Amino acid sequence: VIAPPPVWGLLSRRQSAVALAVYTLAVVAGALALAAVLDAAGHALRAPWAGVGAVALVAAIFAAEALPVQLPQSRWRVPREWGRLGPVGYAAAFGSALGLGVLTALPSPGFYVILYYGLTGASLVSIWIVAIAFAVGRALPMLAIAAATRRSGEYPAGPVELVARTLTAASPLEVLLLAAVAGAVLAPGG
Amino acid sequence: MSTVPARSAGVGASVVAGAAGLVAGTAAAGRGPALAALLVAIGAVSGLRAERTD
């Protein structure tokens, strides 16, 4: 589901804006919480740095959809019953679940690089920066669709389809970035 | 609908992108800021791609 309920429904303009703001902040908070957990685990594990390149290389292969298999991922979904929490509560719960990244379906193969990077013992600030980038990327489509919803007042089927197609077409960009990380880390001097 | 050719074209584009990325990344080896920028970019793209519905 590309656009969960906090964006539209039987909400007033103000409720929708508040729910969206809470959702966005919750995505960031979830991502920062994940970064903190990874940082703590990373200081104990000190995963080898070369592994970042190896994971990036494998992730690039999967991002290219060159293999007929999928990376392991959670099948859990945010329960619809959480809607009982009310618009703001649901937006907060939904956003934090998505921001954590590990609870729901695998965001993308590149997410494994983020996870591994957090386990290398890199500085917490650098992990947070990557996590915030993930959160911003995760929240942006919702913000764009919400903006389209406010304009039309109806379910934004067109914008949802456009965003979905655009993000699907961005696969080569993800492959390029992952391969670049693999090259930068695994090459001599990397 | 010609989904198989479209998928093949997508994989082909990804293979070209991957090769270009490997070359660019190898050239950037040892440059900390470049690698940091790449990791941030992967974070953003990973978040964006999470919302696709393919």
**pLDDT by residue (tens digit) across A97-145?**
999 999 888 878 999 999 999 999 999 999 999 999 999 999 998 888 8
Is B54:A3 a contact under the CB 8 Å cutoff?
no
Residue B48 · residue A140 · CB < 8 Å: yes
Contact assignment for A182 to B29 by CB distance below 8 Å: no
Q: Using an 8 Å Cβ cutoff, are A7 and A145 in contact?
A: yes
Predicted confidence (pLDDT) per residue in B4-46, tens digit: 566 667 788 999 999 999 999 999 888 889 999 999 999 999 9
Number of Cβ within 10 Å of residue A88's Cβ equals 16
Q: What is the mean predicted confidence (pLDDT) over A31-41?
A: 97
Residue B1 pLDDT > 50, yes or no?
Answer: no
Contact state of A176 with B20 under an 8 Å Cβ cutoff: yes
CA dihedral A58, A63, A66, A67 (to 10 degrees): 70
Give the best residue of B3, B16, B22 to mutate against chain A (max A CB count within 10 A). B22
CB of A71 within 8 Å of any CB in chain B? Answer: no
pLDDT score at B4 = 57
Task: Please tell me the predicted confidence (pLDDT) of residue A49.
Answer: 95
Interface of A with B in 97-136 (CB under 8 A): 98, 101, 107-111, 113-114, 117, 126, 129-136
The answer to whether A134 contacts B38, with C-beta atoms less than 8 Å apart, is: no
Q: Looking at chain B, which residue has its C-alpha nearest residue A27?
A: B47
Nearest residue, CB atoms, B43 vs list A130, A182, A185: A130
